[in-house]
A and B are shown apart, each in its own frame.
With several copies, the nearest count.
Chain A
Amino acid sequence: MDIRFSDEHEELRRTIRQFLSAESGEQAVRAAMATERGHDPKLWQRMAQELGLAGLVVPENFGGAGMGPIEALVAFEEMGRVLVCAPALASHFAANAILAVAGEADQEALLPGIAAGTSLATVAHVDAAGRWDLSIVSNEARREGESWRLDGVWRYVLDGHVADRLLLVARVPDGLGLFLVEGEATGLTRKALPGLDLTRRLAELRCSAVAARRIGEGDARPGLERALQLTIAALVAEQTGGAARCLEIATDYAKSRYQFGRPIGSFQAIKHHCADLLVSVELMRSAAYHASFVAATGEGDLETAVHQAKAWCSEAYFEVAAENIQIHGGMGFTWEYPAHLYLKRAKSSEVLFGSPARHREQIGERLGL
């Protein structure tokens, strides 16, 4: 498989970078993260409408950008670089889930709003115990005549505090079901969780006999597995972009900060740290690019590619973000300098969708070890 970006991909990258560097600078990020919502809805509208970032993989006939995993890779890499506060990952997860699970009527009903950025959708699949595997979903849906009722707690729901369309995963007799709940549904309590990472909001949903509409027919698990894999592929791209940016910031600082009459980057202690970070970031690129190219081409095993990318990129991003602080010295851990924002994003995206250890365990199982 040839991992190479086309001219169109590079053009997409330039367009997004230009937009975000103008619209999502550090001040904008700090302003957005201080709000209750956690993002600027006007900016998100523009990202959706001018760049197609809300419906990247939504087909054009549903108003989306009609793109695939490689374009998503590029987009999330760029968004990760600047820590943009936006419900992009929630939206991507939801769009992928709907595409994989829903029938055409539901797709037509749900996707255009998502793609336009006028409707915010998200997927909730983690229960109160905090496990990310779709093999261990403990919340059950109850059939009530033609409709369904949901009870229970769903945690760590991306932007679940403000989404108007919540897609809840629950057990049904024939496997897993995907259920649509409106944001204002009766019996639904939701609260934003105070986050370690201020640049992406997670929420907890509590359902008490909430009426829900089931999306799609039959066991939704295979479709949800693929949607989850594609979402993790986007997340590792985001991690890669964030780490690459940290490396740039650290390198620039090492060139311009003088101590003992020399740029600190001329000391091997700093220089070799930077070299090791470069290595980590290059391997992140390999991991993240590989996952999305496998998703796009169908060559190779997507599940393995995603597990290995998530395991590696999570630890590498944290390493790079932490070392960026170290290279900056005292300034690096001040509130006013942005290095800590990357560290917190790195740690939260490491935990999100399962720990590196769990992904390694799953690779071990697949290798038959």
Chain B
Amino acid sequence: MSDSKRTIGEAELRDRVRALLAQAHPDAVDRVTFRRAQYDHGLAWVHFPEGYGGLGLSPGMQSIVDDEIALHARTIYWNLAINAIGIGMGAPTVMTYAAEHYKQQLLPRIFTGEDIWCQLFSEPSAGSDVAGLATRAVRDGDDWIVNGQKVWASIAHKSSWAMLLARTDPNKPKHDGLSYFLLDMKSPGVDVRPLYQITGDAEFNEVFLNDVRIPGDRILGKEGMGWRVAITTLMNERVALGGSSRPGHGLSEKLLNLWREEGPSGPRGADGRSAAEIAVLRDAVVRLHIESELLGITNQRTKSAMRAGNPGPEGSVAKLVQAELNKKITELGLELIGSDALVYETGYPLRRGEDFPARTRRENAKHDFLRARANSIEGGTSEVMRNILAERMLGLPGEPRVDKDVAWKDIPRG
């Protein structure tokens, strides 16, 4: 858990944050300057070793740093907003597997957001079964030549670097024939295209790789070890929990506001609903609000457990609950709106997901309803989450596998 010679306690950690702020304050200097200073103070990822943005502490202690900064600054930088994939998943992978000069080159720029990162794992034919992917990397001298198609790559159109998983040996069983590459997104042959969704927004990309050349020293781990490296990346995917843990500030908050301001009994309430209809709706709203509150408390329990170094099943539960609950909440939101749900004021212009226009609460509720359809698919389908919960948390046996110990090229693929 720690490489440091002695343990740093909470009080000393707070002192170090104050020392950082004395030297570079986010309200006074620009983002890159501040974040670079934070990195140099070992306060970027406190669980990383000293010299790499960390102090060798337990991961749960990062929240002390974040809280302390929040206490003294108006300008708050959110990892999720700056470089979610790079900071959350790229950095730990680089830390664990990259060569020393890459660590020094990449880690600070990830943290400052100078380099945005994306992940290129999923493919059209490899969704839940990522390890079945087909993108090929063929050796050419010291380099590799990559061909294939990736999907669901968020932020790829703004990324400098990608974590790329490709197949280097189709004659091995599927997990054994993969290698993990650092891909410079400016390489020739990389073609990023927006992937439009049900809302008309494109939050994700398709990435086509045509004879893309990657230098040999950009394999992380070793050739054929790609799956193990990918596990490190994926294990870090759900570290940043969604959902707040403050009572009344969870997923149901929007629903309650919608009720109060535009719902059946709110100022804009319409549709002349009967008292009985309103009672039925109210019961449904409260039902989902309770579940939302309990999700928040569950997140809180997870944080407590992580701080104590005892992560339990609560974290994996949260992803499943959140996905299913948010779908129900947004469906009910639409029901509150009533007949006006037939209208979609903003229309469906195809556009990049970050180009959101300003929307009214009502318009947001409609957009959220559509957007939520993806919640139980993105980041692991609810079906996959149930498998994980049942097998890893409850210890239930796996299913009979037809794709083990078979060369990847011989696995049935329909």
Contact = CB atoms under 8 A, between A and B. Distances in A.
A361 to B, nearest CB: 6
B390 A275 contact: yes
Given A3-B300, A195-B342, A363-B289, A274 B396 contact: yes
B352 interface: no
Contacts of B321: 279, 283
A364 B342 contact: no
Interface stretch (B8-16, B137-145, B163-171, B276-284): B276-284
Contact of A333 (B127, B198, B338): B198
Contacts of A308: 290, 293-294
B6 interface: no
A340 B372 CA distance: 12
Interface stretch (B106-114, B211-219, B378-386): B378-386
B407 to A, nearest CB: 11
A369 B256 contact: yes
A129 B272 contact: yes
A330 B389 contact: no
A336 B301 contact: no
Given A193-B342, A312-B290, A351-B341, A334 B271 contact: no
Contact of A347 (B273, B285, B341, B412): B341
Interface in A141-166: 155-156
Interface in B364-382: 366, 369-370, 373-374, 376-378, 381-382
B289 A287 contact: no
A325 interface: yes
B339 A347 contact: no
Q: Main secondary structure on chain A at its contact with chain B?
A: helix
B27 interface: no
Contact of B406 (A261, A325, A331): A261
Contacts of B327: 322
Contact of A334 (B198, B317, B389, B399): B198
B396 A271 contact: yes
Interface stretch (A62-70, A130-138, A170-178): A130-138
Interface string B381-414: 1110111011101111111111100100001111
Interface residues of A, number: 84
B209 interface: no
A290 B247 CA distance: 11
Interface in A247-293: 247, 251, 254-263, 265-272, 274-276, 278-279, 282-283, 285-287, 289-290
Nearest to B303: A2
A360 interface: yes
Interface in B317-355: 317, 320-321, 327, 334-335, 338-348, 350
Nearest to B272: A131
A255 B389 CA distance: 15
Contact of B387 (A1, A251, A268): A268
Residue with the greatest number of chain B CB neighbours at <10 A, chosen from A257, A260, A278, A352: A260
Interface string A329-369: 11111111000100110011001100101101101100111
B339 A367 contact: no
B129 A260 contact: yes
Contacts of B398: 266
A360 B290 contact: yes
Nearest to A202: B342
Given A275-B394, A343-B373, A330 B345 contact: no
A47 B270 CA distance: 37
B389 A364 contact: no
B286 interface: yes
Contact of A266 (B304, B305, B339, B399): B399
A300 interface: yes
Contacts of B283: 357, 360-361, 364
Interface residues of B, number: 100
A221 to B, nearest CB: 18
A351 B342 contact: yes
B286 A364 contact: yes
Nearest to B305: A4
A88 interface: no
A261 B402 contact: yes
A250 to B, nearest CB: 9
B394 A290 contact: no
A194 interface: yes
A266 to B, nearest CB: 4
Given A351-B342, A358-B277, A265 B376 contact: no
Nearest to A348: B342
A195 B289 contact: no
A155 B350 contact: no
A259 B343 contact: no
Contacts of B399: 266-268
Given A196-B366, A265-B396, 18 more contacts: A194-B346, A198-B348, A202-B342, A255-B397, A261-B412, A274-B394, A275-B394, A278-B313, A285-B301, A322-B327, A326-B382, A330-B127, A332-B373, A348-B341, A351-B339, A357-B335, A358-B277, A363-B290
20 contacts: A2-B300, A129-B271, A130-B271, A255-B397, A260-B401, A269-B386, A270-B396, A271-B387, A275-B389, A278-B313, A286-B297, A289-B301, A290-B294, A304-B247, A312-B290, A326-B376, A330-B374, A331-B124, A335-B200, A360-B286
Interface of A: 1-4, 126, 129-132, 136, 155-156, 193-198, 202, 247, 251, 254-263, 265-272, 274-276, 278-279, 282-283, 285-287, 289-290, 300, 304, 308, 311-312, 322, 325-326, 329-336, 340, 343-344, 347-348, 351-352, 355, 357-358, 360-361, 363-364, 367-369
